[in-house]
Structure 1
Amino acid sequence: MTTLDADQLLGAVRAFAQGPLAAQVEAIDRQGYYPKAELGELARLGAISAHLDAPHGGSDFGLAIRAMAEVSRVCGATGFMVWCHAVCGLYLQQSGNPALSGERLQRHVGGLGLGGTALSNPMKSYAQIETLLLKAQPVEGGYLVNGNLPWVSNLDQDHYCGAIAAVTDGEQALGREVMFLLDCSDPGVELHECPSFAGMEGTGTYALRLKDYFVGADRLMADPAKPFIARIRAAFVMLQCGMAVGVIQGAIDSMWAVEPQLGHVNQFLDERPDALQAELDELTARVMKLAETPFNSSNEFFLDVLDARAQGAELALRAAQSALLHQGARGYLMSSAVQRRVRESHFVAIVTPAIKHLRKEMARLSQQETPA
């Protein structure tokens, strides 16, 4: 992995995103091209690991978010996969399990292994939106896990992800969950193709089916899982803000791109690029402040993180629609970057935690209920 200071890293990521990555955006969005080589290069540059504690320096969540934003500014799908890989690295490091936080983590940091996160269903479960779909039966030396997950991203046959299962004794729940690393190449794991999406087809998204999947001590991230989730929940959500910031900036870029030709009529639109940029700059500053203390476990801090994440999703929707209106008919072409960003903004708004999930959790925290 290349060692660069913050400005050098961001400059290198920007150049790569606007060059080699930009050349693949259409294939990633519509043709299902999975950018494995591109993700490996971003890892080599350090774009996917700035938030992780380094042997000779501390973590920088703000830098990780800004790097993710540079990627998402060009390709929201790749920005999302950067988040998947980044948050999987967070699980590995925070697990405290030497089998996961040593050589395995170093391979992950260097992009020699690529990982995702299967925590959409558990996060919805903790918010009382869904029930847990994976069940873990205690056996000698670990657990046997069974169940199906419909949507897990940044996967392939040689990839891995963090997952959570409810611990059971037969059909009886034992009142706790276990978090573990799931290797897609292991026995008992099946990947199944998902139906075609509206966009972002190249995100390596599969349905996962587990049949008597064995989890030993070398795969355990947390047992029980809830204290671990309580510790990382703010960091998990906060990192996603990099996706939102990048998609918003890309939309604003598209608005400015047509200003010389269409500014004389676009001036009559309600949302103008300078006003949206001011909102984005304010949001970015807010996120950078939150990123200074990513492991603050207070409900008040988590409420601020959820609110910033919701603000990012809502601003992404507004900015993408405004970019479409500014570009007019040229923005309605399927090949248009604006048309792609409209779909990307919808994804920012519905990916876990979706806007409705965020608002539900914010309402609960505002009422000072006991955390899930």
Structure 2
Amino acid sequence: MSITLPQDLSGWLADSAQGLDLGEIGAEEILPRLASAGLARIGVPEAEGGSGGDVVDAVGAVAAVARESLSAAFILWGHRSYIEFLLHSDNAALRGRQLPDLLEGRTAGASALSNVMKSLAGLEPLKVRAKSENGALVVDGKLPWVTDLRRDGFHVAAAADGAESGAPMILAISHDDPGLERSADLDLMAMRSSDTAALTFTGLRLPEDRIITRDARNWLPRVRPSFMALQCGMSIGLAARAIDEAEARADSGRGVLGPDIRALQADLSDARSALAAGLRSQAFVRRPAALFDLRIRLAGIVSDAVELELQAGGGRCYLRGPGADFARRWREAAFIPVITPSIVQLRTELAAARQAA
């Protein structure tokens, strides 16, 4: 799962992390740099234009980026998730048309499946509907929060309630489809250079060859492990960096923190191993609760890691200049629990499952 970034990319991310967090550097710079370093190809079969490996390697790529910038890792997560959806689709023609530009970073990929995940868990209704009309689909609805909506061009995977069948399907909607409106970027507390906005569909006509799957109920459990594992990559990278920072500062008269740091390092290493094993054995398809527990566990590790970094850095972390990178990681860590499916949603599903057992 360990990936080493090219030096020019890691240097740029390190120098740009503050600007990306505060929105001072345009998001349009991120994806081309990530793609040119080959990160979008990791875990994609060579026959599909990728560099081989599996989704565990793709998680490692997200984690490596998250060590430097969660804004950039958030974009890579959305982009790589969309690629994963195409890889799991029976629509080979759609994959053949879209994948080359996605792998090169010429077009962005975005995941907007939070609504359908909540819907299938009984937490909220689907917000997008599609009805058949003269050999096409007419799509209406709104998605309030989507990342990697690059203004130069994007594809977004959106779930829609089929008006005729009543069953959810997954659609590939593109930036230039008539009837699509992208909002201004959301006013986020952090990670402002992540092309995160809302989408509204009004009478959007979509050819049926843009259907990723007609059967989201059976398709989603197969792709959810990859989708959530790539999210976990953000937690892994951020936690690892905060732990390293804590360890570097604990030598300066704060050695009492050593046992806590080593325990957290071991916990993170164990969680990473469990994530890789579950992905490669397909255990998370059969037992999604194990993946939910890991996502919750990793969120806790992130919280503990930034807390240890604060304790190790002391008052220095609270100064605007010397503490700028810590303050960014603190804000980034605040996002980890709310990524859909959020920690509250996962705990709700786990509690319901235990009650039903």
TM-score normalised over the length of structure 1: 0.88
**Percent identity over the alignment?**
29
Q: CA deviation at 1:59?
A: 4.0
Q: CA deviation at 1:296?
A: 5.5
Paired residues for 1:69-148 under 5 Å = 69-148=63-142
Equivalence for 1:33: 25
Give structure 2 stretches of 5+ with no counterpart.
none
Separation in structure 1 between the aligned mates of residue 226 and residue 186 of structure 2, nearest angstrom: 30
Quick one: which amino acid aligns to residue 355 of structure 1? I
Q: CA deviation at 1:69?
A: 0.7
- Cα RMSD over matched residues? 2.2
Tell me the SS of whatever aligns to 2:345.
Answer: helix
* 1:286-314: CA deviation from partner (whole Å, max 9, x where unpaired): 1121231358631x2x1211111111111
Query: Does structure 2 conserve the Cα–Cα contact (< 8 Å) formed by 1:14 and 1:70?
Result: no
* 1:191-238: CA deviation from partner (whole Å, max 9, x where unpaired): 112442111111100111111111212211011322211221122112
Tell me the SS of whatever aligns to 1:320.
Answer: helix
Tell me the SS of whatever aligns to 1:102.
Answer: helix
Query: Does structure 1 conserve the Cα–Cα contact (< 8 Å) formed by 2:27 and 2:195?
Result: no
* 1:138-184: CA deviation from partner (whole Å, max 9, x where unpaired): 21212111111111111023112100111225xxxx42012111111
Equivalence for 2:315: 329
Taking a change above 3 Å as real, the CA distance of residues 39 and 348 of structure 1, as seen in their structure-2 partners, is same
2:247 to 241, 256, 270: 256
Q: CA deviation at 1:25?
A: 0.7
Quick one: which amino acid aligns to residue 250 of structure 1? R
Query: Does structure 2 conserve the Cα–Cα contact (< 8 Å) formed by 1:116 and 1:155?
Result: yes
Tell me the SS of whatever aligns to 2:47.
Answer: coil
2:158 to 138, 158, 163: 163
Equivalence for 2:169: 178
Tell me the SS of whatever aligns to 2:159.
Answer: strand
Give structure 1 stretches of 5+ with no counterpart.
1-5
Taking a change above 3 Å as real, the CA distance of residues 15 and 274 of structure 1, as seen in their structure-2 partners, is farther
* 1:252-285: CA deviation from partner (whole Å, max 9, x where unpaired): 1221232343xx2x34459732221111111111
Equivalence for 2:59: 65
Taking a change above 3 Å as real, the CA distance of residues 17 and 360 of structure 1, as seen in their structure-2 partners, is farther
Separation in structure 2 between the aligned mates of residue 341 and residue 182 of structure 1, nearest angstrom: 33
Q: CA deviation at 1:90?
A: 0.8
Tell me the SS of whatever aligns to 1:308.
Answer: helix
Q: CA deviation at 1:15?
A: 2.5
Pairs aligned (count): 352
* 1:54-81: CA deviation from partner (whole Å, max 9, x where unpaired): 2188541121111111100111111111
1:315 to 294, 301, 305: 301
Tell me the SS of whatever aligns to 2:18.
Answer: helix
Equivalence for 2:15: 23
Tell me the SS of whatever aligns to 2:171.
Answer: strand
Query: Does structure 1 conserve the Cα–Cα contact (< 8 Å) formed by 2:45 and 2:52?
Result: yes
Quick one: which amino acid aligns to residue 166 of structure 1? D
Equivalence for 1:297: 285
Query: Does structure 2 conserve the Cα–Cα contact (< 8 Å) formed by 1:96 and 1:221?
Result: yes
Paired residues for 1:167-246 under 5 Å = 167-168=162-163, 174-246=165-237
Separation in structure 1 between the aligned mates of residue 298 and residue 41 of structure 2, nearest angstrom: 22
Query: Does structure 1 conserve the Cα–Cα contact (< 8 Å) formed by 2:82 and 2:157?
Result: yes
Query: Does structure 2 conserve the Cα–Cα contact (< 8 Å) formed by 1:17 and 1:70?
Result: no
Separation in structure 1 between the aligned mates of residue 194 and residue 273 of structure 2, nearest angstrom: 29
TM-score normalised over the length of structure 2: 0.91
Equivalence for 2:328: 340
Tell me the SS of whatever aligns to 1:74.
Answer: coil
Q: CA deviation at 1:45?
A: 2.7
Equivalence for 1:349: 337
2:262 to 271, 274, 284: 274
Q: CA deviation at 1:368?
A: 5.9
1:306 matched to 2:292? The reply is yes
